[in-house]
A and B are shown apart, each in its own frame.
Chain A
Amino acid sequence: MSVLDIRDLQTHFFTDAGVVKAVDGVSFSLAAGEVLGLVGESGSGKSVTGFSILRLVDPPGQVVGGQILFQGQDLAQLSNREMRSLRGNRIAMIFQDPMMTLNPVLRIETQMVEAVRAHERISHAAARDRAITTLAKVGIPSPAERLAAYPHQFSGGMRQRVAIAIALLNGPDLIVADEPTTALDVTIQSQILAEVQELARETGTALIWITHDLAVVAGLADKISVMYAGKIVESGPTGQVLRAPRHPYTAGLLGSIPGHGRRGERLTQIPGMAPNMARLPMGCAFAPRCALAGDLCRKTAPGVSDIGGGQGYRCHYPIATGEGVP
């Protein structure tokens, strides 16, 4: 059974400039131990999707439609109290900036012990032991001593490890990670990716890795979903999508990444910029930037075409397989 099953999720923001459909009909499911890479550029709705799962969307934002089934249970039906008992316990979240999520005036010990005892009747000593084991698991040297430290005494990479350790404390079934390595250096990022990969394999925790960096998910995720203007425009098994993207936006993103033995050549660029979410064009939101767009694209928004093998896309004129990046 899938751990998480999202069906037609709609999260809208009711602003003065109009209704912003930040998440507009997102569906995906995730099995135990599976890693999903949710990829998109700023403003594509990838983070709001993550926040919606934890019901952390603040006004003027609101989940207005769809279902979020966590182990078969619709999260929208839960009371705030029930939701609170899930958060940090069965579903955990890791944010981009650990300095914003760790309390700067409390020792790591206080924060970790609190996170354990909020969900379980357990002695302080036992909770502390668990904190030490979890810190060791994420690669923090001499965890027992480090418990007494405050967040500012850790380096950026270590702080993110502490945040990850807090997310892991209660052995969650699902972790939503929102750009957790974006602010970190390459060598630290790769340490954290290695640890997360191992943890997902060992504990069977399902993982949603939200990122703008296709290269990170290429090595980490089992499957990826690419978001553009609130919709998943392409999804499928990682290797398949990266090898043979069908949606022009996915192909454009892949072509935009420098490196990879195309030194000095012009990068294939996607012209224009991300659309204003309050005033999306009629039809396909990507049409104004798309080289393959026709009249149909400017009139009707494409539905999801399922091409089997778990791969699907929203496009009227997809790239034929084997054609490669245009």
Chain B
Amino acid sequence: MTAMLELINVSRRFEKKFDAVEKLAYRLGADLRETCVNAVDGASFSIARGEVVGLVGESGCGKSTLGRMVAGLLPVSGGTIRFEGVDVTDAAEAEARAKRLRIQMIFQDPMSSLNPRMKVQSIIGEAAIHHGLTTRAGMPAYVAALMEKVGLDPAYAQRYPHQFSGGQRQRIGIARALAVQPDFLICDESIAALDVSIQAQVINLFQDLRRDLDLTYLFISHDLGVIEHIADRVVVMYLGRIVEIAPTEALFQDPRHPYAQALLDQVPRLGAGRQAFRTVKGEIPSPLNPPPGCHFHPRCPMAGPRCQREVPRMITENGHGTACHLHDGGTA
């Protein structure tokens, strides 16, 4: 199976350079350093056509940054992103730009990603006209078909975003993404802000669209229940690095990285009865100053001396990859 999307060692650094005052202070001998955050550090994985890959992790782990790089909204600091074999890392050439168009993104908060002063019809139809997928005359019918597809009444095409409920606004965001006929959707916490019953409606919509339009998804979420439901494979990130990649069932039955184990262990579950909540100690360290070696070692119950020295490699067996010294010769 050839990969539709391939990430090779993709990294993103955010640097804060000295401003004028700090430069002066530095010259005068102040103990200052330019700060640098490795938001995503050497991420490599691939997604096959028709697959749904879930990307999970806690806040600040770099999952949204990764999604934005794949969508082309953020330049990468290092590494390569290939889409259908074409390098789209910096989309300068026409071919790369055409490929990029087929990757679309759906955001978490539809209220801040929909222009409040535009009517729904223009929000959904504008990009399609620009890219020549429909004409100005054909646009209303084109938009109506899209609205129907995502479960919105086409009669509402002349309304503004604020006249819709949260769930409906998310559907507008989905229709806008679908308007340029993409093959690949990145959903960044796209259902996190919705109520449970509305969330279920939108998850079902994603499943239906996948079937009808033959879509491939990168589904970013902190909600493991959602990921378990929708994803074929799961990528787990911690503090900028991928710690585990596995088929969904394998991950939920047999998580190998201690962080993935802890994460799965702590999801509140229905039907578990009264739970004794177990906890990983500590908090996520600051990405400004991450621990050396394996980023998880200060919180890891199994950490050994090697974890403090050496960054673990990704070891893959039968499609189940883990970046942990426990699976690579021990922690001593």
Contacts and interface: CB of A to CB of B under 8 A. Distances in A.
A269 B204 contact: yes
A41 B273 CA distance: 22
Contacts of B289: none
A193 interface: yes
A279 B274 CA distance: 39
Contacts of B225: 215, 257-260
Given A155-B283, A186-B222, A264-B229, A256 B200 contact: yes
Given A158-B283, A252-B197, A258 B230 contact: yes
Contact of B197 (A185, A189, A256): A256
Interface centre among A157, A253, A273 (most CB of B within 10 A): A273
A253 B230 CA distance: 18
Contact of B279 (A155, A187, A238, A252): A187
A252 B280 CA distance: 33
B201 interface: yes
B266 A269 contact: no
Contact of A253 (B196, B201, B207, B248): B196
Q: Chain B interface residue count: which class?
A: 35 or more
Q: Chain A interface residue count: which class?
A: 35 or more
A49 B199 CA distance: 24
Contact of B195 (A212, A239, A254, A258): A212
Contacts of B229: 258-259, 262-264, 267
A256 B196 CA distance: 6
Contacts of A197: 276-277
Nearest to B168: A273
B197 A270 contact: yes
Interface string B240-277: 00000000110000000000001100111111111111
A274 interface: yes
B58 A190 contact: no
Given A41-B195, A215-B270, A263-B248, A258 B203 contact: yes
Interface string A208-234: 000011111011100000000000000
A194 B248 CA distance: 27
A274 B195 contact: yes
Interface centre among A41, A197, A269 (most CB of B within 10 A): A269
B295 to A, nearest CB: 14
Contact of A242 (B58, B271, B283): B271
Given A219-B277, A258-B230, A253 B268 contact: no
Interface in B220-235: 222-226, 228-230
Given A42-B195, A219-B269, A194 B276 contact: yes
Nearest to A252: B197
Contact of A266 (B207, B224, B284): B207
A260 B271 contact: yes
Given A188-B283, A273-B167, 10 more contacts: A41-B196, A185-B222, A191-B280, A218-B273, A252-B197, A258-B199, A259-B228, A259-B269, A260-B270, A267-B229
Q: Give 6 closest A-B pairs by Cβ, nearest first.
A: A219-B275, A259-B225, A258-B229, A256-B200, A190-B266, A194-B277
29 contacts: A185-B58, A186-B263, A187-B263, A187-B266, A188-B283, A190-B266, A190-B277, A190-B278, A191-B277, A193-B277, A212-B196, A213-B196, A215-B225, A215-B270, A218-B268, A219-B274, A219-B275, A239-B274, A242-B271, A253-B196, A256-B200, A257-B196, A259-B224, A259-B267, A260-B270, A264-B207, A266-B207, A269-B200, A274-B195
